[in-house]
Amino acid sequence: MSAPPTEPSTTSAPDSRTFRRAFQDLREGFGHRELWLHLGWQDIKQRYKRSVLGPFWITIATGVSAVAMGLLYGTLFDMDIASFLPYVTLGFIIWNLISGSILEGADVFMSNEGLIKQLPTPLSVHVYRLVWRQMILFAHNIVIYVVIFAIFPQPISWTAIAAIPALFLIAINAVWVSLLFGILSTRYRDIAPLLGSIVQLLFFMTPIIWTEKTLEGTGNADRAKIAEINPLYHFLDIMRAPLLGEDQQLYHWVIVLAVTVVGWAVALVAMRNYRSRVSYWV
């Protein structure tokens, strides 16, 4: 006797293009902490395998560049080296963290093509791995500032603790930047080299090897406002200013928070619409 016919199910298959799945990817990816913490640390060890100094070559290279630029531009702009060198050094260290997150973020999925196709893990695992790796590099580079600070002491106050939430905000933004540009670069391969050119341009537009007072000294105070157009300047300032003992401006934090909210909104839309396609694009 044949079984009675069953009615077709009215329940549709789960849709991958939902914000719920996007948040689930982020949550599950963060839950794989042991995996991306291990992979991020292995990235650093592998890069300097069989090297005597290991990862501290990163510190040496950054320190030499920062000191050389600080001495050169300090002489050209007739700046006080005791205050200008810590300014440039800290600017270089923070800039390397920001630019590294952007540039490596654009390649985050393409560089992990093998893992994406063979290991069924959330996409965000690769992003967390990248940000963790950048934080390790930052920890190595911040040693340079400690040395410079010992040579040229700065008037640090209790407000220096503001650098902690500033670093947290930079890390949070590094996640959405890597997600967004990683997805875009996977679909459109021109994005990565374009970002490289833009980041290089923004380096010269950001007060790292020059200060706002340098522009004001030209006799046109409006030129100092050029830096305000660059959003990376505000991320740089919220962390550098407290570590140099300088007064902080509230509007820098407001702009950074606004960029964070807008950036995450755009990144979540990209995750909702294209997360499931990345494995085919790579």
HEC sequence for 48-89: CCCCCCCCHHHHHHHHHHHHHHHHHHHHHCCCCHHHHHHHHH
Q: Give the list of residues 6+ apart from residue 188 with CB closer than 8 angstroms, or none.
A: none
Instruction: Compute the C-alpha angle 132/232/262, nearest 5°.
Output: 80
> Cα(127)–Cα(111) distance, rounded to whole angstroms?
11
Asked if the model's pLDDT at residue 256 lies above 70, the reply is yes
**Cα 234 from chain centroid?**
13
> Cα(185)–Cα(12) distance, rounded to whole angstroms?
32
Q: Give the list of residues 6+ apart from residue 184 with CB closer than 8 angstroms, or none.
A: 106, 191, 270
Secondary structure of residue 137 in the 3-state scheme: helix
CA quadruple 258, 263, 264, 269: dihedral, nearest 10: 130
Residue type, 126: H
Asked if the model's pLDDT at residue 250 lies above 80, the reply is yes
Instruction: Compute the C-alpha angle 247/252/254, nearest 5°.
Output: 130
Half-sphere exposure of 108 toward its Cβ, with a 13 Å CA cutoff? 33
Please give the mean pLDDT across all residues of the chain.
86
Mean pLDDT of 254-258: 96
Q: In the prediction, which pLDDT does 260 show?
A: 97
Q: In the prediction, which pLDDT does 8 show?
A: 41
pLDDT tens-digit series, residues 109-157: 998 888 888 888 899 999 999 999 999 999 989 999 999 988 888 787 8
Q: What are φ and ψ of residue 180, in 5° steps? A: -65, -55
Asked if the model's pLDDT at residue 226 lies above 80, the reply is no
- What are the C-alpha distances in Å from 39 to residues 31, 35, 36, 71, 195? 14, 6, 5, 38, 25
pLDDT exceeding 90 applies to what percent of the chain? 51
Secondary structure of residue 275 in the 3-state scheme: helix
Asked if the model's pLDDT at residue 262 lies above 90, the reply is yes
Asked if the model's pLDDT at residue 3 lies above 80, the reply is no
Asked if the model's pLDDT at residue 1 lies above 50, the reply is no
Asked if the model's pLDDT at residue 7 lies above 60, the reply is no
> Cα(269)–Cα(274) distance, rounded to whole angstroms?
8
Q: Which two tokens stand for residue 74?
A: 């300090």
pLDDT classification of 5: cutoffs 50, 70, 90: very low
Q: Taking the CA atoms of 232, 162, 105 and 20 in sequence, report the sign of the dihedral they define.
A: negative
Q: In the prediction, which pLDDT does 12 show?
A: 42
- What are the C-alpha distances in Å from 194 to residues 2, 175, 189, 201, 224? 64, 20, 9, 11, 27
